[in-house]
């Protein structure tokens, strides 16, 4: 009886070890999380570049839009008379 119990325990250990190996192999082959992290990093870099460009172009953009508003205002006031 003790030999049967030992045999059963050894069989269960081997089966669970194989199950654990299968789980590790599946996780090792699963790259969805890594791809998501890579896309997140790319998006973060693009957002940082857009913010940096907006900060660098702030003064020229303000001047450009102020000039555009002034020209439109001048055109509208000259047509209103």
User: Do 57 and 39 share a structural domain?
Assistant: yes
Query: Hunting for tokens 């082959």 — which residue is that?
Result: 29
User: Do 47 and 80 share a structural domain?
Assistant: yes
User: Do 37 and 26 share a structural domain?
Assistant: no
User: Do 24 and 58 share a structural domain?
Assistant: no
How many domains does the chain divide into? 2
Pick the range with the lowest mean pLDDT from 1-5, 51-55, 70-74: 1-5
| Contact residues for 61 (Cβ-Cβ < 8 A; gap 6+) | 54
Output DSSP code: residue 30.
-
User: Do 49 and 66 share a structural domain?
Assistant: yes
CA 23 and chain centroid, separation:
26
User: Do 81 and 51 share a structural domain?
Assistant: yes
Q: What confidence category does residue 67 fall into, taking pLDDT thresholds of 50, 70 and 90?
A: very high
- Going through the chain in order, the beta strands assigned E by DSSP cover none
pLDDT at 71: 93
7-62 pLDDT, tens digit each: 767 677 667 677 777 776 776 666 666 778 888 899 999 999 999 998 999 999 89
User: Do 49 and 21 share a structural domain?
Assistant: no
Give dist(CA 71, CA 55) in Å, integer: 25
Domain that holds residue 41: 31-81
């Amino acid at each position: 009886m003790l030999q049967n119990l030992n045999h059963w325990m050894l069989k269960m250990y081997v089966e669970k070890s194989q199950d654990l190996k299968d789980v590790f192999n599946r996780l090792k082959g699963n790259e969805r999380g890594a791809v998501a992290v890579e896309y997140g990093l790319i998006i973060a870099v693009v957002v940082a570049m857009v913010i940096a460009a907006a900060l660098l172009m702030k003064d020229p953009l303000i001047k450009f839009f102020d000039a555009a508003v002034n020209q439109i205002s001048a055109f509208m006031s000259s047509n209103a008379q």
